[in-house]
Amino acid sequence: MKTTSHTVSRLSLAAVMLVSAQAGYAMGQAKDQAMDKVTFQLDWLPGGDKAPVYVGVEQGFFAEAGLDVAIRQGKGSTDAITKLATGAADVGLSDLVSLLVAKANDDVPVKAIYSVFSKAPYAFYVLSDSKVKSVRDVANTTIATSPFTSANVFLPLLLRKNGIAEDSVTVLKADPGALNPMLITGKAEVMISWITDTVKNQAQAAQVGKQLTVLPWHDAGLEFYSTAVIASDRFLKARPEVAKRFVAAYAKSVAYTWSHPEQSAEDVHASVPDVDPQQAADTIKSIKGLVYNEISARDGIGHFTPARLASTWQWTAQAQQLEQAGFDPESAISRDFLPEE
């Protein structure tokens, strides 16, 4: 067979392309193998209030930190804590109050490593033309609430702190989906809901020409930490450097989320198509004060101070009728994984 220089060139080019493709495939495999896998457990369904973890995925903050993060939906803080304690997940979200109770009662092998909401999200909702203008005005009213919300255990303390007799209010418990209609139709004068539900609640009221006023409990003396990033002791002990990289990337995601709410909402929608991006964006904006406020400005985003942590436990112990002196809330916290300032 006669071989021309043109044929040799084609063969050489093919060989080079084959070698390059093999090298690229090998590099891709090596890159995938180098990524540390982390399972993140939500405390509830995806939405604007859960945006940072989705932002970390879609904006590449986790990938830049060498992390491959898988996100799982949740069924409440207790469920998230259980998933971490049993090894089904590495990191997640939980109400800090729920973690303190779980640690005090059962010493679960889980710790909070980053504060997300430095203020509690509980609130009263009233119609804007209501005579109730502040928390102190709810005496002699009917209050609608879900039987499942953790806000219920703090209601007696909130009333007492604001000089309201507990027997002066009538509490009606109903399915969460029925609460806003009860308020709108006048079957209840006050509704207990989270600030994270503001957009949804306001939208429902607007459909019938009504407006709602939100009365946050944190403005009426309920001062404690709420949502936090939690991690299993197993994960923190076995992979401390991975935990540090995760928290640093998550902190970057938090900053991005509230600087770019619309894009962050699109990031949630990209990961979970069922999430409406406009509603998610509105939610992100409406809860900014739970993340960025005078507490986080003073102490830093993500930080737990001993004084506010002690206050959180004091409220929790009273609400849950636990012995306050019998548990040190510091045992539920680790500050070792916070990003360096």
Q: How many Cβ atoms are within 10 Å of 310's Cβ, its own excluded?
A: 15
Phi, psi (rounded to 5 degrees) for 299: -100, -20
227/43 Cα distance (integer angstroms): 9
pLDDT band at 161 (very low <50, low <70, confident <90, very high): very high
265/4 Cα distance (integer angstroms): 60
pLDDT for res 11 = 40
Rounded to an integer, the average pLDDT of 184-197 is 96
| pLDDT over 90 (residue 178) | yes
Helix (H) or strand (E) holding 115: strand 110-115
Structure tokens at 228: 């936090």
| pLDDT over 90 (residue 54) | yes
Q: Give the residue with greater pLDDT, 108 vs 23.
A: 108
The residues that bridge with 48 in the sheet, in sequence order, are none
What percent of the chain shows pLDDT beyond 90? 86
Task: Identify whether the C-beta of residue 136 lies closer than 8 Å to the C-beta of residue 302.
Answer: no
Q: Give the residue with greater pLDDT, 138 vs 22.
A: 138
Q: How far apart are the first and last CA of the chain?
A: 71
- pLDDT tens digits for 11-48? 454 444 444 445 454 444 444 558 999 999 999 999 99
Tell me whether residue 68 is exposed, middle or buried, using C-beta atoms within 10 angstroms of its C-beta: 0 to 12, 13 to 18, 19 or more: middle
300/52 Cα distance (integer angstroms): 17
Instruction: Classify residue 52 by its DSSP letter.
Output: H
- pLDDT tens digits for 210-225? 999 999 999 999 989 9
Structure tokens at 69: 């993060």
228/251 Cα distance (integer angstroms): 12
pLDDT for res 18 = 47
Query: All domains of the chain, ordered by start, with CATH?
Result: 35-119+224-332 (3.40.190.10), 122-220 (3.40.190.10)
What percent of the chain shows pLDDT beyond 70? 90
Task: Identify whether the C-beta of residue 62 lies closer than 8 Å to the C-beta of residue 205.
Answer: no
Task: Identify whether the C-beta of residue 83 lies closer than 8 Å to the C-beta of residue 230.
Answer: no
Task: Identify whether the C-beta of residue 214 lies closer than 8 Å to the C-beta of residue 130.
Answer: no
Angle of CA points 65, 69, 107, to nearest 5°: 105
pLDDT for res 48 = 96
- pLDDT tens digits for 73-99? 998 899 999 999 999 999 999 999 999
What is the chain's mean pLDDT, rounded? Answer: 91
pLDDT for res 32 = 52
Tell me whether residue 322 is exposed, middle or buried, using C-beta atoms within 10 angstroms of its C-beta: 0 to 12, 13 to 18, 19 or more: middle
**What is the pTM for the complete model shown?**
0.86
Helix (H) or strand (E) holding 193: strand 190-194
pLDDT for res 340 = 80
pLDDT for res 33 = 57
Task: Identify whether the C-beta of residue 238 lies closer than 8 Å to the C-beta of residue 37.
Answer: no
